[in-house]
């Protein structure tokens, strides 16, 4: 209900409120010959950009003459091709950079490192008599489709909080 002590316009259950919505009544419209345009009902409440086909004539395909549609010249085709190629390259470049940020181990390959050392068992009987060895160290490639090697285990729950002390009167 409304409160009479509050001096502001009140609308219980929004009765009597004028919110600026258009009414359900459509104004009578005529075409150039003076006939009533019944398709005005179809376009009521719609955006002016919405195409409403309310007559049979709107659904029939129009005949296109060769003079109505012209082929674009070579310069226009080239410019549109370059615009499309630039737009596609921008999209692909954005996706590639997003993937590089998400998986940094894929992009950063370290160069091979060579280590030279003297074996502890040097001599003619071991390692074909070589006095020193050279090892090439590099990181093994990461397979992006490989399943995870470690399974995440849930940690066991900690002990619960101690029970609330209950105060009893002495027996």
Residues near 138 by beta carbon (within 8 Å), at least 6 away in sequence: 110, 111, 112, 113
Q: Is 38 helix (H, G, I), strand (E, B) or coil?
A: helix
Do 52 and 42 touch, CB atoms closer than 8 A? Answer: yes
Residues near 12 by beta carbon (within 8 Å), at least 6 away in sequence: 1, 2
Q: Which residues are bridge partners to 133 per DSSP? A: 117
Supply the pLDDT for residue 77: 95
pTM for the model: 0.29
Residues near 72 by beta carbon (within 8 Å), at least 6 away in sequence: 80
Supply the pLDDT for residue 122: 65
String of DSSP letters for 80-117: HHHHHHHHHHHHHHHHHHHHHHH-HHHH-PPPPEEEEE
Supply the pLDDT for residue 39: 79
CA 139 to chain centre: 34
- Spatial separation of the C-alpha atoms in residues 52 and 36, rounded to whole Å: 17
Supply the pLDDT for residue 148: 79
Supply the pLDDT for residue 16: 64
Supply the pLDDT for residue 75: 95
- Spatial separation of the C-alpha atoms in residues 51 and 56, rounded to whole Å: 14
Do 53 and 59 touch, CB atoms closer than 8 A? Answer: yes
Residues near 116 by beta carbon (within 8 Å), at least 6 away in sequence: 132, 133, 134, 135
Supply the pLDDT for residue 88: 96
Place of tokens 């940020």: 101
Place of tokens 């619960």: 160
Mean pLDDT of residues grouped by 10 in the chain (171 residues)?
74 69 74 85 81 81 71 93 96 85 64 88 68 87 80 88 81 66
């Amino acid at each position: 209900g409304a409160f009479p002590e509050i001096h502001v316009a009140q609308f219980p259950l929004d009765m009597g409120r004028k919110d600026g919505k258009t009414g359900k009544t459509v104004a009578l419209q005529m075409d150039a010959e003076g006939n009533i345009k019944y398709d005005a009902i179809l376009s009521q409440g719609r955006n002016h950009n919405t195409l409403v086909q309310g007559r049979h004539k709107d659904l029939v395909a129009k005949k296109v003459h060769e003079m109505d549609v012209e082929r674009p010249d070579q310069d226009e085709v080239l410019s549109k091709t370059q615009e499309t190629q630039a737009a596609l390259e921008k999209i692909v470049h954005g996706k590639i950079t997003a993937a590089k940020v998400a998986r940094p181990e894929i992009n950063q390959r370290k160069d091979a490192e060579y280590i030279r050392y003297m074996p502890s068992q040097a001599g003619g009987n071991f390692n074909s008599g070589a006095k020193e060895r050279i090892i090439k160290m590099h990181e093994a490639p990461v397979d992006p489709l490989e399943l995870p090697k470690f399974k995440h285990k849930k940690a066991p729950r900690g002990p619960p909080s101690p029970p609330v002390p209950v105060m009893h009167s002495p027996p």
